[in-house]
Structure 1
Amino acid sequence: MSAFRSVLQLASKPKPPACTLGTRTIARTSIDVSLRRTFRSSACRRVHYLDVEPDTMLQVLTDSKSQDKVVLVDFYADWCQPCKMLSPILEKLTANENAESVKTGSGLSLDLVTVNADTQAELLQKFNVQSLPTVIAFKDGKPESRFIGAVSERVVREFIAKL
């Protein structure tokens, strides 16, 4: 009988509202959320610019958003077998889902630009690209480092880590 009476007493107690402005009910304990300090951090957003033209390339490298980023420029051709091996590695390592595991040594965000050598001879000449594939890393709009030829994923990771 006493167990039944305690259940009735619990049932008759008024319950706090499920949701009120400025409070959140958690297991019948109200916490004032208006006084809590909140922190927001956005994940590193990486961008891929595929088959760019000279004006797009200039815009990407000189854009104010690019000043806090490293931009990898992949010069390739569709007929180039080493390019076909390297391009998927670059795309994988610069993808947003790998932003936490693949970081530059400077902690800057990483974007990828691809340039088709067959259609953009002007860009190849401007950046002195003589072999394919060639990858040039830009920091603050200026060429920082480069490598030529198909390399393994490990080598690309090391290259990125040095930037």
Structure 2
Amino acid sequence: MSALRPFHALRATLRQVPKARSFHSTVRRNEHFLDANTTVFEKAVSNKDKVVLVDFYANWCNPCKMLSPVLEKLTTDESIKSGSGKALDLVTVDTDVEGELAGKYGVTALPTVIAFKDGQPISQFKGAMPEHLVRKFIESV
């Protein structure tokens, strides 16, 4: 019985320790929604707190393969800001899978990048561009 006494004393002491303080965490600054379907796309572009870049691409498209890493790099860089000062999200849409969604936004060339703000398309560019021009595009939206 004496061997159990220290355990009971420890358990009683642990009950008196205040619970750990919970910390408030903020939403991640940038999010990537890769290979988004229509539902994910609609939810992502409707975010009024961010500018959302939507990259319409296809797996067989070589210019798309050149542009995608540039977009991913720039949207994760904390120092890159949109012209409105809002944070950036990136949504990628495979046009071979989501052709109807691409048609809705008039995508006729790949890659096409459309910037959305407050749920509405505000600007776009077509084709692969070098990083410095993509930066300028982001700064303009």
TM-score of the two chains, using structure 1 as the length reference? 0.69
Letter of the aligned partner of 1:108 in structure 2?
Answer: K
2:27 equivalent to 1:46: no
**Aligned pairs, how many?**
118
- Counterpart AA for 1:52: A
Paired residue type of 2:120: K
Which residue in 2 is equivalent to 1:84?
A: 65
SS at match of 2:137: helix
Residues 9-33 of structure 1: per-residue CA shift (max 9 Å, x gap): xxxxxxxxxxxxxxxxxxxxxxxxx
Distance in 2 (CA, whole Å) between partners of 1:50 and 1:158 is: 23
Rounded to whole Å, the distance in 1 between the matches of 2:53 and 2:137 is 11
| Corresponding residue for residue 112 of structure 2 | 134
Taking the aligned partners of 2:50 and 2:25, their CA distance within structure 1 comes to 17
Does 1:115 find its partner at 2:71?
A: no
Q: Which runs of 4+ in 1 moved over 2 A?
A: 40-44
| 2:38 corresponds to 1:60 | no
One-letter code of the match for 2:88?
L
Measure how far apart 1:41 and its partner are: 10
More relative contact order in 1 or in 2 (CA 8 Å, sep 6+)?
2
Q: State the 1:105 CA deviation.
A: 1.1
CA RMSD of aligned residues (A): 1.7
Query: Under a length normalisation based on structure 2, what TM-score does the superposition of the two structures give?
Result: 0.79
Q: CA deviation at 1:162?
A: 0.7
The aligned residue for residue 125 of structure 2 is 147
Checking the alignment, whether the CA contact within 8 Å between 1:138 and 1:145 is kept in structure 2 is yes
Structure 1 partner of 2:5: none
* Structure 2 gaps, min length 5: 1-23
Identity of aligned residues (%): 55
Unaligned runs of 5+ in 1: 1-39
Instruction: Indicate the structure (1 or 2) with the bigger Cα radius of gyration.
Output: 1
State whether structure 2 residue 56 is matched by structure 1 residue 72: no
